[in-house]
């Protein structure tokens, strides 16, 4: 075989090896993503049902309420983050349709959000980040938490979400016999708290205007927390600049991307 033929053959082999490596990486990412999603959902569902239908709030049982509320809030955040990965196709890249269905179900479960509408708005956020056309940004209050959060709620929590939440509460109380205090403590409170947590660590802090400005057109910064603090604050979504640079990286891969950026 002549040199040109050998080079062509080696090029084909290199391309085949690279393609096989990418397929293996995608399979591994899908396996990890779906496993973590299942774990987050299971923990959310278990604590949700325990708090609403099992826990008696009398006596010393009140001591269990605080950790349950904290876990419920954190896993509520996790449901949204998993759905967010599904929007970008990074939840299960080898099972795109399954990822879409999971994202759709979790957004509905979270607050009755519509999959198509929220995904389109999120892509607009990436396209117009930090501008007046960004649906996640409040151009009139780029530094102020409270008015920005209220604007955020008005844009996303509409009539459909209001009706969904009320339907869930009515079903729990009137049909399934749940106690109202339990529903308020282990459904309403964690849901509201998770929206605050998502907004603060995943939108407000990364995109807030500060005196030092932003590094590039993404108008986003990373919070630089430790691995544990980043996980428990917002499932690593505080590594926000890295997410905007590479939206296809799943939430659990953002710390590695952040470290790589710091080493460059």
Written as six digits, the tokens of 46 are: 């278990």
Q: What percent of the chain shows pLDDT beyond 70?
A: 93
Q: Determine which of 15-24, 189-198, 201-210 has the lowest per-residue pLDDT on average.
A: 15-24
Mean pLDDT of 89-98: 97
The 10 Å Cβ neighbour count of residue 112 is 19
CA distance 107 to 114: 7
Residues 6+ apart with CB under 8 A from 113: 107, 156, 160, 161
The overall average pLDDT reported for the chain is: 92
Q: What is the pLDDT of residue 58?
A: 86
Residues 34-51 pLDDT 10s: 999 999 999 999 999 999
Residues 96-114 pLDDT 10s: 999 999 999 999 999 999 9
Q: Are the beta carbons of 34 and 79 closer than 8 angstroms? A: no
The 10 Å Cβ neighbour count of residue 43 is 15
SS3 246: coil
Written as six digits, the tokens of 231 are: 């996980």
What predicted TM-score, i.e. pTM, was given to this entire model? 0.91
CA distance 36 to 33: 5
CA distance 154 to 78: 22
Residues 149-196 pLDDT 10s: 999 999 999 999 999 999 999 999 999 999 999 999 999 999 999 999
Q: Are the beta carbons of 255 and 236 closer than 8 angstroms? A: yes
**More confident call, 186 vs 262:** 186
Q: What is the pLDDT of residue 106?
A: 98
Q: Are the beta carbons of 93 and 26 closer than 8 angstroms? A: yes
Q: What is the pLDDT of residue 20?
A: 78
Q: What is the pLDDT of residue 114?
A: 95
Q: What is the pLDDT of residue 87?
A: 98
CA 85 to chain centre: 7
When pLDDT is cut at 50, 70 and 90, the band that residue 18 belongs to is low
When pLDDT is cut at 50, 70 and 90, the band that residue 33 belongs to is very high
Written as six digits, the tokens of 184 are: 């308020």
Q: Is the pLDDT of residue 2 over 50?
A: no
The 10 Å Cβ neighbour count of residue 54 is 8
Virtual CA dihedral for 100, 101, 102, 103, nearest 10 degrees? 50
Mean pLDDT of 212-224: 93
Q: What is the pLDDT of residue 6?
A: 37
Q: What is the pLDDT of residue 78?
A: 98
CA angle 254, 259, 260 (to 5 degrees): 95
Q: What is the pLDDT of residue 21?
A: 84
Residues 145-160 pLDDT 10s: 999 999 999 999 999 9
When pLDDT is cut at 50, 70 and 90, the band that residue 92 belongs to is very high
Mean pLDDT of 211-216: 90
Q: What is the pLDDT of residue 15?
A: 54
CA distance 49 to 46: 5
Written as six digits, the tokens of 203 are: 């939108």
């Amino acid at each position: 075989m002549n040199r040109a033929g050998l080079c062509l053959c080696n090029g084909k082999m290199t391309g085949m090896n690279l393609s096989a490596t990418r397929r293996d990486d995608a399979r591994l990412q899908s396996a990890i993503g779906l496993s973590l999603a299942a774990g987050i959902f299971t923990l959310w569902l278990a604590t949700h049902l325990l708090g609403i239908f099992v826990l008696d709030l009398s006596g010393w049982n009140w001591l269990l309420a605080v950790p349950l509320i904290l876990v419920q809030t954190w896993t509520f955040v996790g449901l949204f983050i998993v759905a967010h990965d599904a929007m970008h196709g990074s939840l299960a890249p080898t099972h795109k349709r399954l990822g879409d269905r999971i994202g759709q179900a979790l957004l509905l479960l979270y607050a009755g959000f519509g999959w198509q509408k929220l995904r389109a708005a999120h892509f607009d956020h990436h396209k117009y980040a930090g501008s007046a056309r960004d649906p996640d940004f409040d151009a009139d209050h780029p530094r102020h938490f409270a008015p920005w959060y209220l604007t955020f709620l008005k844009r996303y929590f509409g009539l459909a979400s209001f009706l969904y939440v009320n339907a869930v509460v009515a079903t729990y109380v009137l049909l399934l016999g749940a106690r109202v205090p339990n529903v308020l403590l282990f459904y309403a409170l964690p849901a509201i708290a998770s929206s605050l947590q998502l907004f603060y660590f995943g939108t407000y802090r990364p995109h807030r205007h500060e005196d030092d400005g932003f590094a590039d057109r993404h108008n986003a910064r990373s919070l630089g927390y430790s691995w544990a603090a980043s996980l428990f604050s917002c499932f690593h979504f505080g590594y926000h600049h890295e997410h905007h640079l590479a939206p296809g990286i799943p939430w659990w891969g953002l710390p590695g991307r952040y470290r790589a950026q710091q080493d460059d």
